Amino acid sequence: MVANLSCSLIEHGRIKTTLAKARALRPSIEKVVTLAKKAHASSDPAKKVHYRRLAIARLRNKTAVSKLFDELVDQFLERNGGYTRIYKLALPRLGDAADMALIEFVEEAPKKKASKKKQTKKKTDKTVPKPAKDKKEETPATTSGEDDSPKDSVEPVASEEVTTESSDSEDQEATSDDSPEIEEEAPSQPEDVNAEGSTESK
């Protein structure tokens, strides 16, 4: 039980448990932190492996031990004991009214590596859409230029159509003016014919 609580504390940095369990957890987790500090201070690789194996024997979780020995040990190098802190909570547990407490590490782990990874991901995400936005901005500019040129070309065509329509209307008026003359001439010919027919009959 203490090993599981220790692994949870290493993984999350803070856990909520009963006051009795928190007090029982404190000495065991501080001994494991001391092993990590000894492994960090030693220059002999055999001793480093030895301390790591002792911690694995206590915690029975290799991922938690590797996180403690590789990442969390840096925040405890300047401290001589007292690596954890216990807060008593005011509200007891509902089921059995046991006193509850929070236990956490005294100093927070540095998050420089994670922040750099997040920043690089954000930068890559930002750099990818920027060219797309520039292309989108360029395409409206080109389309606006294209729109301007057809409008210019359309206006003279419209004026030509107007001129052709006016010329067509003039031709129609001319033909309409000519048609009554033709109609007038057409009846005049039959009159001559009738006149000739009447002269012939006479």
Please write the tens of the pLDDT for every residue from 11-39: 999 999 999 999 999 999 999 999 999 99
Percentage of the chain modeled with pLDDT above 90:
52
pLDDT score recorded for residue 6: 96
pLDDT score recorded for residue 107: 81
Q: In what order do the strands lie in the sheet with 84-88?
A: 14-18, 100-105, 84-88
Domain ranges of the chain: 2-110, 113-202
Q: What is the dihedral of CA 109, 112, 114, 115, to 10 degrees?
A: 130
For the entire predicted model, the pTM comes to: 0.54
Q: Is the pLDDT of residue 72 over 90?
A: yes
Residue with tokens 């004026």: 159
Residue with tokens 């039959």: 190
105-115 average pLDDT score: 65
- Summarize pLDDT for 133-157 with one digit per residue, the tens: 555 555 555 444 455 544 444 455 4
SS3 86: strand
Token pair in block for residue 86: 């216990």
Residue type, 123: K
| 159 band by pLDDT with thresholds 50, 70 and 90 | very low
126-137 average pLDDT score: 53
CA distance 36 to 139: 60
CA distance 51 to 32: 9
Q: Is the pLDDT of residue 65 over 80?
A: yes
The more confident residue out of 173 and 52 is 52
CATH match of 2-110 with 3.90.1030.10:
yes
CA distance 149 to 145: 6
CA distance 56 to 184: 124
44-55 average pLDDT score: 96
Sign of CA pseudo-dihedral 170, 176, 177, 181: positive
- Summarize pLDDT for 5-18 with one digit per residue, the tens: 999 999 999 999 99
Token pair in block for residue 167: 């010329």
Side-chain half-sphere of 177: how many Cα atoms within 13 Å? 6
